[in-house]
A and B are shown apart, each in its own frame.
Chain A
Amino acid sequence: MNNLIIKRSQIVRAQITGTPAVGNKYYFTDVPNLSRNNIILYGFEVFTATQLAKTPQNETVVAGSTNDQIVLTWRDNNKIEFVYQMPIYTAIRSLNGGIYSILKPRIINLTDSYIQLVDTTGISTNEVVAANIYYDIVGE
């Protein structure tokens, strides 16, 4: 069995703006140095407050108890939802034997990717779902 090697990583987050609602798409926030659709995603993991209580931007991360209420979708630069509605529980490393989620490398469009809630219990306005993306840069 293999596990991921971190070459480059960045904490990204999708903020739950407005009153939390089931089915709404909450898009990932732009990260300036990743905004040129020039990153090749080959793995990721998701954090709740158990792993990362607040983001570096001082946003509160959703509680660990909500890890079965959220799904995540990654879209590529052709707008294909190549990971569609993956339960975030599956992507929390410490809940899955320390294994990262490893993907076939693909150029992603971060701000086209999003999370959705299937239940709003315990989730508050302006909380974020945080993820670490593991990537390479196109051409490197």
Chain B
Amino acid sequence: MAALKLISPLVNFLETRGYIKPFAGIEGERSKIVTLNFPAGAQNGDPFYFASDSSLDYSNSTITAIELVDVTTLSNVNTVKGYKDDITTTSAAFGYLVFSDNKRQEIAMIPLYNLVRRLNNGKTTFLCINTQIWQNCYVAVTDINQFSVNSTAFTFRVSYVPKS
């Protein structure tokens, strides 16, 4: 006889609306590492846009989780400008990630520190973002002096579900 699973009506409602899911649940069908270098002459508040990646646009996928890979999690990463160190969590407190749609309207804005999985007891940041244009998404910083712009880069692990 199968075990009976008791679910409160509120939890059932939240799950049905897509507001919550088990924190040990599947992050996505696929994941990839995405890197972002500092642009030349980066200033506080400037949007540092991601390079175009149509596989992460809303027409092709729903983004279901994201993780900022800090220097403790992965020491360095290969970017289009060569190997760079990942950023520290101290620096991460001076930046935030913004998801934007095709009209550049902001869908979600999340501080980078919060995306470091190991700082959150291993719990990933679940998303349900399905109107994004990846090249309209960006990182911005509030104090550029907290970053080593020539030797570091932002690294994210993006989980997604392709749309068939």
Instruction: Show the binding face of A for B, using Cβ within 8 Å.
Output: 1-11, 42-43, 45, 47, 49-56, 58, 93-94, 97-99, 102, 104-105, 132, 134, 136
Contact = CB atoms under 8 A, between A and B. Distances in A.
B113 A11 contact: no
B73 to A, nearest CB: 15
Contacts of B11: 2
Nearest to B111: A52
A43 B21 CA distance: 13
Interface of B: 10-11, 14-15, 17-24, 44-45, 93-94, 96, 106-111, 113-114, 117, 119-123, 125-129, 140, 142-143, 146
B17 A6 contact: no
A102 B19 CA distance: 9
Contacts of A43: 19
Contacts of B143: 53-54
Contacts of B122: 98
B126 A56 contact: no
A71 B18 CA distance: 29
Contact of B94 (A8, A9, A54, A97): A54
A2 B110 contact: no
Contact of A9 (B15, B20, B108): B108
A42 B45 CA distance: 28
B113 A6 contact: no
Contacts of A45: 114
B141 to A, nearest CB: 9
A98 B128 contact: no
A2 B15 contact: yes
B19 to A, nearest CB: 5
B121 A97 contact: yes
Contact of B128 (A5, A52, A93): A5
